Chains A and B, each alone.
Chain A
Amino acid sequence: MSPLAVGAAATDTTRSGREGWGPLPRRPRPGRTSPLLTIRAPISRRSRLTLAVLSLALPFLAWVVLVASGVVPSRFLPSPGAVLAAGIGMAESGELFADLWATVQRVLFGFGLAVAVSVPIGIVMGTFRAGQALFEPLISVLRYLPASAFIPLLVIWMGLGEPSKIALLFIGTVFFNTLMVSDVVRGVPRPLIDVSYTLGARRGEVLRKVIVPHSLPGIVDAVRVNAAAAWNFVVVAELVNSTEGLGYRIVRSQRFLQTDKIFAVLIVIGLCGVLIDVVLRLLRNKVGRWTG
């Protein structure tokens, strides 16, 4: 068959069977929509700012209205002013900072330990099939055991002091972080590893000079996600039995029906969380500048 004949066959529109079809209906064009409702469309700076302010202002407004209307007694829902006053009071007496420091310290120890253990194991799991075969079955099971269910056991084993709280934090974050790190490491493209061998790199050098640097931004991302979990677990741990810490402050305030203090502590926890997130995000952008 000549090339011309092939071309003709491809554009032949009179092949039998086609005449019976009516014209294909065309749907009317949809009208133009605002970028706010268009999938993945960039929005203006003003819209973004307005929406961001609204997302905080609306709940705050609802709070003010609920309190002012008296629908909810102030014993249950203190006014923003009362919460601010309670917060200032706790700050002035110094108990807020003592509590905050106690909590931060636990996070640093417990989550720091979890990171120190999970990152190397995750790298081994993501690099060596043997590492994956060895660790994955155990960790996949352990990850489904709720960390808070370990509290009674940990108290029996380690008592009511610091070790059991740090252990809870550790258990609550180490397995997830390991699996997330191993996923990141497994994402290093095979061709990049292969080409490194052809440039003369040995196994250890591939690990150090290719796998680790490529995974670093993803590892920081995993740590950022799990830092939020750590912050949750530390408060849970402190609810049980402590003499200081933000969780302890919440329990104690409950005993005296000081909802204003509870709200103040919750806001402090939220702000700290945002602060940690921002710091880790900056770190991530610094180590991952090349990801663009």
Chain B
Amino acid sequence: MKLELSGVGKSFRTGAASVRALDGVDLRVASGEFLCVVGASGSGKSTLLSLVAGLDVPTEGRITLDGAEVTGPGPDRGLVPQAGTLYPWRTVERNVAFGLELLPITPEDRAARVDWHLAETGLTEFRHALPRQLSGGQQQRVAIARALACEPEVLLLDEPFGALDVQTKEDMQVLVRQVWRDTGTTVLMVTHDVEEAVFLGGRVVVLACDPGRVAADITVALPEDRDLDIKRHPDFLALRASIEDIVRAQHRAHTARATAGGR
């Protein structure tokens, strides 16, 4: 197992009250797998990723990467947040180079790696642009290229296309799928978009709400070779519908609990 979460729970204290964001999450991600976690807003998706990234510590449970316990953030777990985390003063190529600049490699080596990742994400012609000159989709390409350039063991994607329009989002989905196949990187992506999860993931995990725990774990039995047309295939639609039913049921149960108990 590449990444293993066992009994992971997380509570936040806000003043006197305590929010239970995650509860007893067991999750195993195999090497080279593309795992999508879906859940409604507030189900603890971002919390889950920041724990794996090592930016926050679980209240209980263990997270291990290749058997070693995660104790803090590091370049072995690259993170791509929803939006707006590029260095605004750095050009595209220097954003991609950020992680590499911290390592003892020659400038030629670094340049070659940056070039490859720019080409892979279709950014070569924008290499000298500043982030604010790019569209939202291009900015996310840079964030992905920047994380990948550090050759992470696991790539963590936190609703990376949530702020994009539908057409751009689909372009990005195709890109991420292609990058995953080209690099063989293990990917853990969270999203609220079931269609996206089914299209991208080899496996989809549904996160229940309040507190977040694993409600379902579904293998996506679709061909490895996927293009956007597959979204209209009956098998795809059926799988998508069944997962959406689970997400909806979880959401309803949560809303009912919240209304009844006033939380």
A residues at B contact (CB < 8 Å) = 189, 191-192, 194-202, 205, 209-210, 213-214, 290-292
Distance in angstroms from B22 CB to nearest chain A CB is 18
Pairwise interchain contact A200-B102, C-beta atoms closer than 8 A: yes
Cα(A214)–Cα(B79), bound, Å:
20
Pairwise interchain contact B89-A290, C-beta atoms closer than 8 A: yes
Contact of B55 among A192, A194, A201, A213 (CB under 8 A): A194
Pairwise interchain contact A199-B87, C-beta atoms closer than 8 A: no
Pairwise interchain contact B84-A198, C-beta atoms closer than 8 A: no
Given known contacts A191-B81, A205-B102, A290-B88, A197 and B73 CB-to-CB distance under 8 angstroms:
yes
Pairwise interchain contact A195-B102, C-beta atoms closer than 8 A: no
Distance in angstroms from B241 CB to nearest chain A CB is 14
A200 (CB) vs chain B CBs: closest residue: B75
Cα(A163)–Cα(B243), bound, Å:
75
Pairwise interchain contact B55-A197, C-beta atoms closer than 8 A: yes
- What 5 A-B pairs have minimum CB-CB distances, sorted nearest first? A200-B75, A197-B73, A199-B99, A290-B89, A198-B79
Chain A to chain B contacts (Cβ below 8 Å), 19 pairs: A191-B81, A192-B85, A194-B81, A195-B79, A195-B143, A197-B55, A197-B72, A197-B73, A198-B74, A198-B75, A199-B78, A200-B74, A201-B102, A205-B102, A209-B98, A209-B101, A214-B88, A290-B88, A290-B130
Distance in angstroms from A196 CB to nearest chain B CB is 7
Q: Does B132 contact A (CB under 8 A)?
A: yes
Cα(A265)–Cα(B99), bound, Å:
55
Pairwise interchain contact A292-B132, C-beta atoms closer than 8 A: yes
Q: Which residues of B contact A290 (CB under 8 A)?
A: 88-90, 130-132
Q: Does B208 contact A (CB under 8 A)?
A: no
Cα(A199)–Cα(B149), bound, Å:
9
Pairwise interchain contact B81-A195, C-beta atoms closer than 8 A: yes
Q: Which residues of A contact B102 (CB under 8 A)?
A: 199-202, 205
Cα(A210)–Cα(B99), bound, Å:
12
Pairwise interchain contact A189-B84, C-beta atoms closer than 8 A: yes
Cα(A155)–Cα(B204), bound, Å:
75
CB contact list, B91-147 vs A, under 8 A: 98-99, 101-103, 130-132, 143, 146-147
Contact of A213 among B77, B89, B101 (CB under 8 A): B89
Pairwise interchain contact A198-B147, C-beta atoms closer than 8 A: yes
Contact of B73 among A191, A198, A213 (CB under 8 A): A198
B83 (CB) vs chain A CBs: closest residue: A191
Contact of A199 among B54, B55, B98 (CB under 8 A): B98
Q: Which residues of B contact A194 (CB under 8 A)?
A: 50, 53, 55, 73, 79, 81, 85
Pairwise interchain contact A191-B132, C-beta atoms closer than 8 A: no
Cα(A205)–Cα(B89), bound, Å:
16
Distance in angstroms from B255 CB to nearest chain A CB is 14
Interface centre among B54, B55, B77, B131 (most CB of A within 10 A): B55
| Interface mask (B48-87 → A, CB under 8 Å = 1, otherwise 0) | 0010011100000000000000001111011101001101
Distance in angstroms from B27 CB to nearest chain A CB is 19
Pairwise interchain contact A199-B150, C-beta atoms closer than 8 A: yes
Q: Which residues of B contact A192 (CB under 8 A)?
A: 85, 87
Q: Which residues of A contact B147 (CB under 8 A)?
A: 198-199
Given known contacts A200-B75, A205-B102, A191 and B85 CB-to-CB distance under 8 angstroms:
yes
B78 (CB) vs chain A CBs: closest residue: A198
Distance in angstroms from A187 CB to nearest chain B CB is 13
Distance in angstroms from A199 CB to nearest chain B CB is 4
Cα(A292)–Cα(B132), bound, Å:
8
Pairwise interchain contact A196-B98, C-beta atoms closer than 8 A: yes
Cα(A248)–Cα(B55), bound, Å:
58
Given known contacts A199-B146, A200-B150, A290-B132, A191 and B78 CB-to-CB distance under 8 angstroms:
no
Cα(A59)–Cα(B41), bound, Å:
60
Pairwise interchain contact B85-A199, C-beta atoms closer than 8 A: no
CB contact list, B18-36 vs A, under 8 A: none
Q: Which residues of A contact B77 (CB under 8 A)?
A: 198
Q: Which residues of B contact A195 (CB under 8 A)?
A: 79, 81, 85, 143
Cα(A200)–Cα(B74), bound, Å:
5
B81 (CB) vs chain A CBs: closest residue: A191
